[in-house]
């Protein structure tokens, strides 16, 4: 198993004491965490993209540029790049530039995004989100793999003999497809022989297993080698304590206040927006959150692996309002007490 750390650069008041750091402080914290993740031996660090809600991640390419300058070995991912609302030419240029600066460490996770407001913000029809995603992703593929591209589509002006610059560092970066609720992303990933990144963040495990099963079935149906059907999985946050009881004592108020703060009543009933695991006890027992003792977290990840067969596990430490020292402590405990066991029990050749 490989491991990645994810930040969506949330910028909401602390759920308990209502402190709100400045934007500059949050960016400093996120970049410093990437440096810590590299030092601790994590394989990748990912920055999300959000254009609505209390987040500062509207320009992940800029943040990843800062991270590329501060790191040297860790892979730099997006989580996700919302291709459906962007110009594929701009995406090709921005991330090929990052790929050159980082000397080939950039990988994209693309998706249509989970914030309901960003299609209106960019003047796009949310009803056409999957058509937008499909067309724009397929153009991005061509821009990175071909020169002198002639192209005509529905959602942007035609291109004639177009070569985007710079070219990627050593061929097109790997592109994962983020998958949360719909079969459209697994289908698109399978069609092109790309890897799948399941959100695994809010819903019960069976919901994500359905998407992964569809991906693997269609991957083979499209004629691709099943051994290349790589899967990654997210998680609903990471909180480590010496025992389940200590986790409840230490984090119950924080976890449940954050769930209440994040609840979006206007999206109630829509899959993938509000967690059904409202108490910390429910989250520990059945949720996609990694909360509890190191052994409990090992068991949960390996339980997911039995169902998902995934190669890459993503964790997040800044979603609950932990301070910098506690974030570093949590990542260090994960790297020292959890990751080695899971790597041994579920080896992966991804990135080797």
Distance CA 56, CA 19 (A): 16
Tokens of 43: 């394989």
**pLDDT tens across the length of the chain (352 residues):** 999 999 999 999 999 999 999 999 999 999 999 999 999 999 999 999 999 889 999 999 999 999 999 999 999 999 999 999 999 999 999 999 999 999 999 999 999 887 767 899 999 999 999 999 999 999 999 999 999 999 999 999 999 999 999 999 999 999 999 999 999 999 999 999 999 999 999 999 999 999 999 999 999 999 999 999 999 999 999 999 999 999 999 999 999 999 999 877 776 767 777 888 999 999 999 999 999 999 999 999 999 999 999 999 999 999 999 999 999 999 999 999 999 999 999 999 999 8
Q: Is the dihedral of CA 184, 188, 190, 191 positive or negative?
A: positive
- Name the class of domain 2-345: alpha beta
Taking alpha carbons only, the member of 24, 25, 95, 87 closest to residue 62 is 95
d(CA 352, CA 348): 8
pLDDT at 240: 98
Secondary structure (DSSP) of 42-64: -SEEEE---SSSSB--S-HHHHH
Report the largest interatomic distance among the alpha carbons of the chain, rounded to a whole angstrom: 63
**CA terminus-to-terminus distance, the chain:** 11
Structural domain spans, the chain: 2-345
pLDDT of residue 22: 98
Q: At what angle do helices 60-70 and 23-39 cross, to 10 degrees?
A: 50
Give residue 116's pLDDT.
66
5 - beta bridge partners?
A: 45, 315
pLDDT at 111: 93
């Amino acid at each position: 198993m490989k491991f990645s750390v994810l930040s969506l650069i949330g910028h909401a008041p602390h759920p308990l004491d209502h402190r709100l750091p400045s934007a500059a402080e949050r960016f400093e914290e996120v970049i410093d965490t990437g440096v810590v993740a590299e030092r601790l031996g994590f394989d990748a660090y990912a920055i999300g993209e959000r254009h609505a809600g209390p987040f500062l991640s509207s320009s992940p390419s800029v943040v990843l540029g800062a991270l590329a300058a501060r790191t040297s070995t860790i892979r730099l991912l997006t989580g996700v790049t919302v291709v459906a609302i962007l110009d594929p030419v701009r995406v090709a240029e921005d991330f090929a530039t990052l790929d050159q600066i980082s000397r080939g460490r950039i990988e994209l996770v693309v998706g249509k995004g989970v914030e309901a407001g960003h299609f209106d913000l960019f003047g796009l029809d949310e009803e056409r989100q999957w058509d937008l995603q499909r067309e724009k992703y397929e153009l991005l593929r061509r821009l990175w793999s071909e020169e002198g591209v002639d192209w005509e589509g529905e959602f942007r002006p035609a291109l004639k003999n177009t070569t985007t610059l710079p070219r990627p560092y050593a061929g097109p970066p790997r592109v994962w497809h983020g998958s949360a609720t719909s079969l459209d992303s697994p289908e698109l990933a399978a069609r092109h022989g790309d890897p799948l990144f399941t959100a695994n963040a809010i819903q019960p495990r069976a919901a994500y297993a359905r998407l992964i099963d569809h991906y693997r079935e269609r991957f083979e149906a499209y004629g691709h080698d099943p051994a290349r059907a790589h899967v990654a999985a997210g998680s609903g946050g990471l909180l480590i304590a010496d025992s389940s009881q200590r986790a409840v004592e230490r984090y119950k108020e924080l976890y449940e206040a954050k769930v209440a703060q994040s609840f979006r009543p206007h999206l109630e009933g829509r899959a993938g927006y509000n967690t059904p695991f409202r108490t910390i006890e429910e989250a520990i027992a059945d949720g996609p959150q990694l909360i509890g003792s190191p052994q409990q977290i090992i068991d949960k990840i390996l339980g997911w692996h039995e169902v998902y067969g995934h190669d890459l596990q993503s964790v997040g430490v800044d979603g609950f309002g932990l301070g910098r020292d506690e974030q570093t402590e949590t990542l260090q405990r994960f790297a020292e007490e959890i990751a080695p066991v899971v790597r041994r029990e579920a080896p992966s050749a991804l990135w080797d």
